[in-house]
Structure 1
Amino acid sequence: MASDNTWNALAPNLHQADDNWRRATSLLAFADIQVGGQRPWDMQVHHPDTFDRILTRGSLGLGESYVDGWWDCAQLDEFITRILRARLDEQVGRAGWLWASLKARLTNLQSQHRAWQVGEMHYDLGNDLYEAMLDPSMAYSCAYWPAAQTLAQAQEAKLDLICQKLQLKPGMTLLDIGCGWGSLMFFAAQHYGAHCVGLTISKEQAKLGAEKALNLPVRFELADYRQFNPDSEQRFDRIASVGMFEHVGHKNYRAYFEMARRSLQADGLFLLHTIGKNRAGAGIDPWIEKYIFPNGVLPSASEIAYYSEDAFVMEDWHNFGEDYDKTLMAWYARFEAAWPALKEHYGERFYRMWRYYLQCCAGTFRARDNQLWQVVLSPSGHAGGYRRPLM
């Protein structure tokens, strides 16, 4: 890779009169980002075709050229934040965004057959990676930071918040749709006396979770949510779905809520914890979809309301999206600290991809381009009214 002085060598000789170079530097200046600057969010360019690639391919070109080592930035999270706040994403590579959005609208990218792809590609990468990056509970979703000082405290606060919102009591049954490594189930069983069943499409998650369950009333099922059909006698007192709805897709939203409704007791509660986008119909990020979460798509508030209203009454809606910025940066710090022990297994290219993923996502929440919602639903209105716990 070239040195940080690459800009000084490239600009006068190769791109002084290049339209794409001039356009890119002008756009970046609007976001207060300099090419070759000395601030941590400034961009250091190492390859003469970097801006050609970014301007023609948008988000996909930006991420791919970074992973290929064509450019660097000391503080990627702030770089992305500034781009989004300046709405530069709306001016670059729109064809790629439109195609990704059209493909998602015309094709069921989250069909039952395709649903297992994200488990194999992302969640089965290696438990060593996630054990190093996540807190001891291995909660892989937004933590709750109002009073927390550490990642572990913030994740425990999030798990407790969910249990309190669900009004869990000893002996209740809890279904966790997309249970991950079981952090919520273990917490609910240990602290609230719940009996838990978790659904996951990751073999590695199910295997490690089952090993950790020991004598707790916790069971993992390797199954897509559409394969799970309890009869009336097996319905659960409570249901939670934490960080899984992002893999469902608009073509399956109705089936998802119908599955949750038929799995829940008539007087039960359902908590949905999901990342959300600000506008319905907005495109998914092509780089994230291709390299991190295949077939992923974020719901809008209107989509959640529309597709859930036939099966549920909405009791509560809570947005703490800014907490995901802090969570992602905590994961990034742990990933960086653990990298010397991980690099032989994963390699330099994975390192650049993963640090781009974590910091890029942090930037989207810091810019308030993405949100984090917890929605509480009941089948026909909670008896006596629903009150969110004071936290």
Structure 2
Amino acid sequence: MDSNSSSPHTASIARSRHFLDDLLATADVRINGSRPWDMQLHRNRALDEIVARGSLGLGETYMRGDWSVPALDQFFFHLLRADLHTRIQPLRNLWRIARSYLVNLQSRSRAFQVAERHYDLGNDFYQCMLDSRMTYSCGYWREAKDLEQAQAAKLDLICRKLDLKPGMRLLDIGCGWGSLVSYAAEHYGVECVGVSVSREQCRYIEERYAQLPITVHLRDYRSLDEPFDRIASVGMFEHVGRKNHRTFMQVARRCLKDNGRLLLHTIGKNQRRSTTDAWIEKYIFPNGELPSTGQICDSAEQLLIEEDLHNFGCDYDKTLMAWHRNFENHWDRFAEKFDRQFYRMWRYYLLSCAGAFRARHIQLWQWIFSRKLEGGVERVV
């Protein structure tokens, strides 16, 4: 449920009819309505700011407590299912789109910014929100009953798709807190190397998995140049950016042995020519950019062979809702460390993304690429 305890505006207010009333009605959302997904307005001027600034205005006015919604995930599901994001396009978005084409926002000098802003918030914070292995990517809920089972199923699915065998060397590009490398080392007997741009993640892996054959490096993926039997990248390609997609695939080809396999697990967008949500880029994932299927195919052309594509984006809805429950249940532990605006920012992030996956506005893909075609690769789903 939404909370407005930090806002001076604790009740809906009288007002005149606004342009947003009619626009939201096309998505079956009412301002000051009685349903769980209806917006409750606490400051009239917030509506003008939303129209003027689009998604950035929508998120920032929510963070200030200018409006609330009992079920924020349902609110975003309605908005995105009706494509309302295409109906409000502030002029400043034109500059953001042009910038994404003209500037390499994911250059080596910028590569560590997302870790400093997002992944290094504190390992204790993420331990409370995630599963026991701290897997910060979509779970696989086909037969799972809870988050722990879903994440274990996802890790095992990856290992089976890669056809891991004892003695192999596995590279995990963007290894997070070591969920995949630890699982692969424990259950499949492989030697693992992980790379991350997060100091907190590297420290955590070195301390928790010191007894396993795992080496972790604080480095940018572009510097990699050693042979591996298998490569995985889980939830990292979203930070690579269109100007570097080809470079990523070149690195993968360079590091894969003959007949090696790459598993690429990434969130993706439905349209090639679009840019990152302004609010997400500013507050959650600086310099992030979701790829499209076409961009991924283009980047691998004549370098790697596309063997399989598996979409289970609906499972990210369940994963995000589970993270949100954990976040709410443990918020009291962090209320003094992070302010109330952070609380509203974080629940906005988790629940808006859940609504986006539910509306099929964004997807979750697992791709399998091979270094050389040798009779094809068996698909494991």
**Which of the five TM-score ranges fits, normalised by the shorter chain?**
over 0.9
- 1:357 is the counterpart of 2:349: yes
- 1:123 is the counterpart of 2:123: no
Q: Once the 2 structures are TM-superposed, how far is the Cα of residue 214 of structure 1 from its aligned partner?
A: 2.1
Partner of 1:305: 297
Partner of 1:388: 379
SS at match of 2:326: helix
Give the distance between the partners of 1:171 and 1:244, measured in 2 at CA: 25
Partner of 2:202: 206
Q: Which letter does structure 2 place at the counterpart of 1:130?
A: Y
Partner of 2:4: none
The within-5 A match list for 1:188-267 is 188-230=184-226, 235-267=227-259
SS at match of 2:367: strand
Q: Once the 2 structures are TM-superposed, how far is the Cα of residue 3 of structure 1 from its aligned partner?
A: 5.3
Partner of 2:62: 66
CA RMSD of aligned residues (A): 1.1
Q: Once the 2 structures are TM-superposed, how far is the Cα of residue 24 of structure 1 from its aligned partner?
A: 0.3
Which residue of 6, 13, 16 maps to 2:12?
6
Q: Once the 2 structures are TM-superposed, how far is the Cα of residue 229 of structure 1 from its aligned partner?
A: 2.0
CA contact (8 A) 2:260 2:372 kept: no
SS at match of 2:266: strand
Q: Which letter does structure 1 place at the counterpart of 2:262?
A: F
Q: Once the 2 structures are TM-superposed, how far is the Cα of residue 156 of structure 1 from its aligned partner?
A: 0.3
CA contact (8 A) 1:54 1:93 kept: no
Q: Once the 2 structures are TM-superposed, how far is the Cα of residue 5 of structure 1 from its aligned partner?
A: 3.6
Give the distance between the partners of 2:262 and 2:89, measured in 1 at CA: 39
Partner of 2:152: 156
Give the distance between the partners of 2:365 and 2:107, measured in 1 at CA: 24
Q: Which letter does structure 2 place at the counterpart of 1:136?
A: S
Partner of 2:286: 294
CA contact (8 A) 1:168 1:194 kept: yes
Q: Which letter does structure 1 place at the counterpart of 2:364?
A: L
CA contact (8 A) 1:4 1:44 kept: no
Q: Once the 2 structures are TM-superposed, how far is the Cα of residue 4 of structure 1 from its aligned partner?
A: 5.3
Q: Which letter does structure 2 place at the counterpart of 1:388?
A: R
SS at match of 1:6: coil
Give the distance between the partners of 1:105 and 1:269, measured in 2 at CA: 30
Q: Deviations over 1:134-173 (max 9, x none)?
A: 0001000000001000101000000000000000011110
Q: Deviations over 1:184-214 (max 9, x none)?
A: 0000000000100000000000001110112
Partner of 1:113: 109
CA contact (8 A) 2:309 2:365 kept: yes
CA contact (8 A) 2:177 2:204 kept: yes
SS at match of 1:184: helix
SS at match of 1:190: helix
Number of residue-to-residue matches in the alignment = 375
SS at match of 2:233: strand
In structure 1, stretches of 5+ residues that fail to align are none
CA contact (8 A) 1:201 1:224 kept: yes
Q: Deviations over 1:64-87 (max 9, x none)?
A: 000011111111111011011111
Of 144-153 and 87-96, the range deviating more from structure 2: 87-96
CA contact (8 A) 2:314 2:357 kept: yes
Give the distance between the partners of 1:257 and 1:113, measured in 2 at CA: 20
The within-5 A match list for 1:361-380 is 361-380=353-372
In structure 2, stretches of 5+ residues that fail to align are 1-6
Tell me the TM-score normalised to structure 1 length.
0.94
Partner of 2:89: 93
SS at match of 1:197: strand
Q: Percent identity?
A: 53
